[in-house]
Amino acid sequence: MAATTDWKPTACILCECNCGLEVELGGEDGRHLVRLRGDKRHPVSQGYACEKAHRLDHYQHGPDRLTTPLRRRPDGTFEPIDWDTAIREVAARLTAVRDTYGGDTIFYYGGGGQGNHLPGAYSPTVRRALGSRWRSSALAQEKTGEFWVSDRMLGTYTRADFEHCDVALFLGKNPWHSHSIPRARVTLKEISKDPARTLIVIDPRRTETAELADIHLQVRPGRDAWLLAAMLHVIVAEDLVNHAFLDAHAVEVDAAVEALRTIPFDECCKHAGLEEGLVRRAARIIGRARAFASFEDLGVQMNRQSTLVSYLHRLLVVLTGSMGRPGTHYVPTTLVQFTGGAASRRSPVVGAPIIAGLVPCNVIAEEILADHPKRYRAMIVETANPAHSLADSKRFREALAALDTVVVIDVAMTETAKHAHYVLPAATQFEKAEATFFNFDFPSNAFHLRPRLFERPPGVLPEAEIHARLAEALGVVTEDMLAPLREAAARGLVPYAEALAARLFSDPAYQWLAPAILYRTLDLPEDVREGAVLLALALKKAFENPAQLARAGFGGTPIEAGVALFQAMMTSPSGVVFAVDEWSEVLGRIGTKDGKIHVSLPDLLEELEKCTRSGPNDYDERFPFVLSAGERRSFTANTIIRDPSWRKKDASGALRMNPEDAAALGITDGGVVRLTTKRGSVIVATEISDAMQRGHVSLPNGMGSGRHGDGLVGGVAPNELTALDERDPFAGTPWHKHVPARIERAE
Ligand SMILES: Nc1nc2c(c(=O)[nH]1)N[C@H]1C(S)=C(S)[C@@H](COP(=O)(O)OP(=O)(O)OC[C@H]3O[C@@H](n4cnc5c(=O)[nH]c(N)nc54)[C@H](O)[C@@H]3O)O[C@H]1N2
Ligand SMILES: Nc1nc2c(c(=O)[nH]1)N[C@H]1C(S)=C(S)[C@@H](COP(=O)(O)OP(=O)(O)OC[C@H]3O[C@@H](n4cnc5c(=O)[nH]c(N)nc54)[C@H](O)[C@@H]3O)O[C@H]1N2
Ligand code: SF4
Ligand SMILES: [Mo]
């Protein structure tokens, strides 16, 4: 009989798109991901996948895989321990920290990577049991400035419909490589080749996306605030403002419009390094667009004036009325909200603004190292690698060393795990059910619970199990609590959901206990077991968004709809559409108190005035280059894959540099340089590229982690070069794309 190939559905875990994949398992033990292809049944990616997905076996079979819990010895080496000992000792040590210094000194970092958000969904039980209050994640070094602005102006967060726009703008974003929008390369090519549509890219580098653009605004590094101010000036001065939209949906318009009207246009263009005519043309095209869609990302969010730029970018969207119509901006029905909670609290030690519930990443080390009664004493790090990914790795290592207890939950011995007291090994994302809440599609929004592909090896556990065991060791989840739900479960999913909903409504503590209780009491097939927590989310959605769920086929009472959605999640291995929105609903989702868009933000208008009056102040003659530390390239994926040989290109992570700069330094392509910043100095090979402008150099993201078979680490870890105090004054986000640097030829 001819062998038939058994393709199993799963997803790519290397960027937030999480494209649906089909994978053929094989190899000696049947545990290798031998062939991969896009899954046509996936509702969002529809068969799309980029080159990186084909290399996922390098994640599953990474070089630093953890196979047993580890405890650090006094000499810094690790010894294997069994799970019972690990859980007992971790619970005891964290309890001791809580009882001595207060649970609010136990800091939680991470909870989800590009492919896995279930750890974060299970973590509340343990966090609350310990009285832990402060937390953070990578979002607080990229998106919090944008969240803060968006929350104040709109009371919500928008995404854009690039599929149907006639004018697309990418601001500090290279979706050709970084994606973030579904089927990015297909969509980019479609816009590019259609003469009726215009692609505008703002990037100092001639990126792959810029190559496709109709207009490339090759701004000087870090000067986006002046460029956007100039563009907005044109829109106001030439009255390309959408008055009908603003009259109907906005308030406090005048101050912003007046500020933009009086901006010195020609000077702003000069600071941005761009020709006035080109800036004017781009602004007019946006102002006259039928449907304008726009996306800002790290090029501006990890740069100078980042929060101001996020504000100016929002003004471009709002003043042109680019919301609530096909091809413009929308507010999707999401399962989990990432934004919200705009800076009403301050961090306990340095008083930094807490945005979206997150302490700014750049102050975490200070919050640990300060001499302060409320300094953090312990840290739980889950599915993140902050000793590599946060600014100033050296300082972060010092901070880790100053903690009483560090617990790391990861699949691999990472740069962070090396500094832990306990390392708890997790099953990989193919050895358990996993999912993300990066579900932002519109009008149909989809969710994908990927069943596990194979059993986990002995010695590792899924995070759901780790959290349940810790919760039991902490004494907050007991058999008495589980019994009534076990009994309901035996009667079926609807009685179970009714019992759960009754408890969630009547007992506030149940909100945080529920993840562990659901995981312990719901009887699910082994390959989707870790999906238990989703029942609570499905029920919540059914109460909050009955119409949107009903349109997706999940109608009836909220209990019926929630249960039906949950069942669909468990039995749709290629993903399921869970909500169907309508464009007419978008503007009703403005979440400000009065339901209106608040156009003028006085503090940011003041900052705009200051910038345009005094001009940029970003040059330091000791450091004549601007280093962008962390570019997304063909084979980068944060530090998810730790085997450098997964990279088919650019294995050493070259420093990209303009040919004239190279000539001035006497360097030829591949030549080696010493790259020095305020915080560090490294030796790195160069790639000479006319895509770079003079004075701007760029290093890839995620390098300098993991190791080759020969033990060598590939490339430069970018945060050996970055500084904690180089951060935005409003949101605290780092200036990783604008690191002052010096370059000398090396031998
Ligand atoms: N291949 C790959 N894809 C990824 C990831 C990955 O590691 N590898 N990571 C994922 C993650 S976590 C994220 S957050 C996204 C990030 O996605 P992007 O933000 O698109 O990624 P970057 O390459 O870091 O930065 C984007 C661009 O900013 C430009 N830039 C630098 N300085 C400036 C400036 O002063 N002004 C402007 N306007 N632009 C500037 C750079 O030249 C670069 O092209 O990518 C996701 N996708
Ligand atoms: N200089 C500079 N620094 C940057 C950036 C930059 O552009 N420049 N980019 C920043 C951005 S946008 C981001 S998002 C961050 C990313 O940085 P981090 O948020 O720290 O995340 P990753 O590098 O993606 O690391 C994910 C970790 O999860 C582990 N892991 C994988 N699968 C599982 C699993 O199933 N369970 C568990 N428990 N662990 C698992 C991996 O081994 C890895 O250690 O980096 C940031 N740092
Ligand atoms: S890296 Fe991103 S775009 Fe590429 S296949 Fe994976 S999820 Fe899709
Ligand atoms: Mo990110």
pLDDT of residue 341: 62
Atom of ligand 1 at shortest range from CA of 633: 1
Query: 167-171 and 198-202: which strand pairing?
Result: parallel
**CB of 31 closer than 8 Å to CB of 376:** no
Task: Let me know if residue 195 belongs to a domain.
Answer: yes
Averaged pLDDT, 267-273: 98
Domain termination residue (choose one: 35, 60, 85):
60
Mutate to test the pocket of ligand 2, among 383, 422, 467, 626 (most ligand atoms within 8 A of CB): 383
DSSP secondary structure of 431-442: SS-B-------S
d(CA 396, CA 719): 10
Task: Output the domain CATH number for residue 659.
Answer: 2.40.40.20
Q: Is residue 362 part of a domain?
A: no
Which atom number of ligand 2 is nearest to the Cα of residue 110? 19
Provide long-range contacts, Cβ within 8 A and 24+ apart, for 476-481.
476/125, 476/129, 476/513, 476/516, 477/125, 477/513, 477/516, 477/517, 477/520, 481/513, 481/517
Verify that 83 and 51 share a domain, yes or no: no
Same domain, 463 and 494: yes
129 plus 148 within the same structural domain:
no
Geometric angle at alpha carbon 681, from 680 and 684, rounded to 5°: 135
**Residue with more model confidence, 747 or 300:** 300
* CATH number where 493 lies: 3.40.50.740
Query: Using 50, 70 and 90 to split pLDDT, how confident is the model at 713?
Result: low
**Ligand 1 pocket test target in 737, 738, 739 with most atoms within 8 Å of CB:** 737
The 10s digit of each residue's pLDDT in 621-656 is: 999 999 999 999 999 999 999 998 999 999 889 999
Mean pLDDT, the chain, whole residue set: 96
Beta-bridged to residue 295, according to DSSP, are 170
Whether the pLDDT of residue 344 is over 90: the answer is no
Q: Which ligand is nearest to the CA of 656?
A: 1
Q: Residue 354 domain-assigned?
A: no
pLDDT in tens, 403-417: 999 999 999 999 999
Residues 538 and 655 in one domain: no
Residue to mutate, 223, 298, 310, ligand 1, most ligand atoms under 8 Å from C-beta: 298
Q: Which protein residue's CA is at the shortest distance from atom 28 of ligand 2?
A: 383
Which residue in 262, 170, 176 sits closest to 224, CA to CA? 170
* 2 pLDDT above the threshold of 50: no
Ligand 1 nearest-atom number relative to CA 173: 20
Neighbours of 600 (CB within 10 A): 18
Q: Pick the ligand that lies closest to the CA of residue 222.
A: 1
DSSP symbol at 654: P
Query: What's the average model confidence in pLDDT over 14-21?
Result: 98
Place of tokens 């944008």: 146
**Whole-structure pTM value:** 0.98
Say how far apart CA 563 and CA 369 lie, in whole Å. Answer: 47
Same domain, 315 and 407: no
* Protein residue with least CA distance to atom 11, ligand 2: 138
Look at residue 2 and tell me if it is in a domain. Answer: no
Average pLDDT estimate for 454-467: 97
Q: Is residue 357 part of a domain?
A: no
Q: Mean pLDDT throughout 571-575?
A: 98
The CB of 18 under 6 Å from ligand 1? The reply is no
**Residue 162 to residue 194: CA distance in whole angstroms:** 13
Tally of domains in the chain: 4
Answer whether residue 663 is part of any domain. yes
How many CA atoms does the CB half-sphere of 331 hold within 13 Å? 17
For strand 353-355 and strand 576-580, is the pairing parallel, antiparallel, or unpaired? Answer: unpaired
Q: Note the ligand closest to the C-alpha atom of 426.
A: 2
In this structure, are 568 and 449 located in the same domain? yes
CATH code of 50's domain: 2.20.25.90
Mean pLDDT score, 341-345: 72
- Contact 174 CB / ligand 1 (< 6 Å): yes
Residue 706 confidence class, pLDDT cut points 50, 70, 90: confident
pLDDT value, residue 248: 98
Tokens matching residue 567: 């069942």
Same-domain status, 699 and 733: yes
CA–centroid distance, residue 224 to ligand 1 (Å): 15
Count Cβ atoms below 10 Å from residue 606 Cβ, excluding itself: 12
Please indicate whether residue 701, judged by its CB atom, sits closer than 6 Å to ligand 1.
yes
Residue 587 lies in a domain: no
Q: Which candidate, 226, 143, 172, places its Cα nearest to that of 732? A: 143
pLDDT in tens, 120-164: 999 999 999 999 999 999 999 999 999 999 999 999 999 999 999
Q: Check if the beta carbon of residue 190 is closer than 8 Å to that of residue 48.
A: no
- Give the pLDDT confidence score for residue 1 in this predicted structure: 44
Domain containing 49: what range? 7-60
Residue 455, SS3?
A: coil
Is the predicted pLDDT of residue 249 greater than 80, yes or no?
Answer: yes
pLDDT for position 711 = 55
486 shares its domain with 553: yes
Instruction: Tell me, yes or no, whether 603 and 574 share the same domain.
Output: no
Strand, helix or coil at 147? Answer: helix
Answer whether residue 117 shows pLDDT above 60.
yes
Residue nearest to atom 2 of ligand 3 (CA): 15
Identify whether residues 661 and 604 lie together within a single domain.
no
Domain at 292, CATH number: 3.40.228.10
Q: Are residues 521 and 404 part of one domain? A: yes
Give the helix ranges, DSSP H, for 479-587.
Answer: 479-491, 493-506, 508-521, 534-544, 546-551, 558-570
What interhelical angle do 508-521 and 534-544 show, nearest 10? Answer: 130
Residue nearest atom 21 of ligand 2, based on CA coordinates: 384
Q: What is the pLDDT of residue 708?
A: 59
**pLDDT score of 78 more than 60:** yes
Any domain includes 347: no
Closest C-alpha among 610, 601, 627, 619 to residue 719 = 627
| Pair (98, 42) in one structural domain | no
CA of 218 relative to ligand 1 center, distance in Å:
15
Distance between CA 222 and CA 112 in Å, rounded? 30
Are 576 and 445 in contact by the 8 Å Cβ rule? The answer is: no
Distance in angstroms (rounded) separating the CA atoms of residues 450 and 447: 10
Using DSSP, state whether 128 is helix, strand or coil.
helix
Q: Which among 139, 144, 178, 227 is the best mutation to test ligand 1's pocket, defined by most ligand atoms within 8 Å of the CB?
A: 178
Q: What is the average per-residue pLDDT within 204-225? A: 98
- Going from the Cα of 418 to the center of ligand 2, the distance in angstroms, rounded, reads 15
Q: Is 429 in the pocket of ligand 2 (CB under 6 A)?
A: yes
